[in-house]
Amino acid sequence: MFVGNKFLYSKNVGWASICNSVGQTAGYFLGNVVFLAFESKDFANSYIRQPLNMELQSTGLITLPGFLLFWGIIFLISTTLVALLKHEIDENYDPNEPHFGLTETYKVLLKVFRLSSVQSIALILLTAKIGFAATDAMTGLELIERGVARDSLALLAIPLVPLQIILPFLISKYMTGRKPLNVYIKSYPFRLILGIIMAIFVYYTPTFQNYNKTFPWYYYTLAIIIYGIHQIFVYNMFVSQMAFFAQVSDPKIGGTYMTLLNTLSNLGTNWISTTALYAADYLTWKTCSLGGSQCETENEEKTCRILGGVCHPSIDPYYIEITICITAGIIWLLWKYQTIIRLQCLPITAWQIRSNRRKSHILAEDDESSFLITA
């Protein structure tokens, strides 16, 4: 997160969100797509061993322990080189301004969190993803449940990697002004609509399946198109959010400010997705294929199997959660729209503690923000 505040020259700080999004895309591709592909024995045998006349095996080319060990070593080497060879840049160093050490930085960060503007954006970041929780957390699992192979699903991301890398550069010109969150709020309803489209796609997935349990090429083409459009709006929101973070973060406490905002954003994503997955068990009603009796308990499921039946969900929790989440997303947008508009119109001073004092005063005093934001 230091990219946005210290490692870039001030004239290039607008590229902070681009560096972040492109870096995360590359990391996701290597850590998810590449791993799932090379760990899969089917992919390794079909696309690597067989074309190279190698002996077919029952395992992939890599294992999880080996993969983690390799990238752990790379991480240690790269971070060590950064520490030794790269130095932070502070073009606007002012000896009269307070400069903080590690402990003092986190003390100041606690004071930053008490600003009403930061508390307002924190509430937004912790709740914004509620409209997309079911779509983001459950769609892939639903496709696998309907017969799409896990490695095939991972390989769908490969054609989208160029799009994910190019997109931040294409939309960066809309993030350089004082109101980057305009892109965020304009993209929000489109992501809700894409959630409905993806739910429909999941529903009709079994109708595309061939007799041998595979899927035709046009199914995957349609999946790439839908997911590609979805990614456009995902990256619109992500890059605009990161651009806003770079604008309001106080460079005097380095990347710690941006780390705070990103942590809140990630926490908002994770707790909502976890809740959506956890709630699925309580929204599942199963019935036995013989007689239509309930399969709510283990004994009822066992009885159904003894009779030769299979317990099937009578109502898929995925569609219930899609409906709940999209409805909640619409309500959230109506609730927080004006707040987002007001937040990005605030002066930079509303996001910073007052620095026209000695460092000891800043650390000791209770800072009261002079800007009241209605949540």
Task: Read off the pLDDT of residues 202-237 as tens digits, 9 standing for 90 and up.
Answer: 999 999 988 888 899 999 999 999 999 998 999 889
As to burial, measured by CB atoms within 10 angstroms (0-12 exposed, 13-18 middle, 19+ buried), residue 342 is middle
Structure-token match 């990219």, residue found: 3
Q: How many CA atoms lie within 13 A of 229 on its CB side?
A: 13
Q: State residue 12's pLDDT score.
A: 60
pTM: 0.74
Q: State residue 366's pLDDT score.
A: 45
Chain centroid offset of residue 96 CA: 40
Measured distance CA(61)–CA(41) in Å, rounded: 7
Q: State residue 42's pLDDT score.
A: 80
Q: State residue 201's pLDDT score.
A: 96
Closest CA to 181 of 251, 264, 254, 237: 237
Taking residues 255-283, what's their average pLDDT? 88
Q: Name residue 166's amino acid.
A: I
Angle 147-148-153 (CA atoms, 0-180°, nearest 5)?
Answer: 160
- The answer to whether 251 and 5 have CB atoms below 8 angstroms apart is yes
Q: State residue 129's pLDDT score.
A: 94
User: Any residues with CB less than 8 A from the CB of 68 and at least 6 apart, and which?
Assistant: none
Angle 343-348-349 (CA atoms, 0-180°, nearest 5)?
Answer: 110
DSSP annotation of 357 reads S
Q: State residue 218's pLDDT score.
A: 92
Q: Out of 1.20.1250, 1.10.287, 3.40.50, 3.30.70, which CATH number does the structure's domain 103-364 have?
A: 1.20.1250
Is residue 121 predicted with pLDDT exceeding 50? yes
Write out the H or E segment, with its range, that includes residue 219: helix 217-248
Q: Which spans in 249-283 are helix H? A: 256-282
Taking residues 112-127, what's their average pLDDT? 92
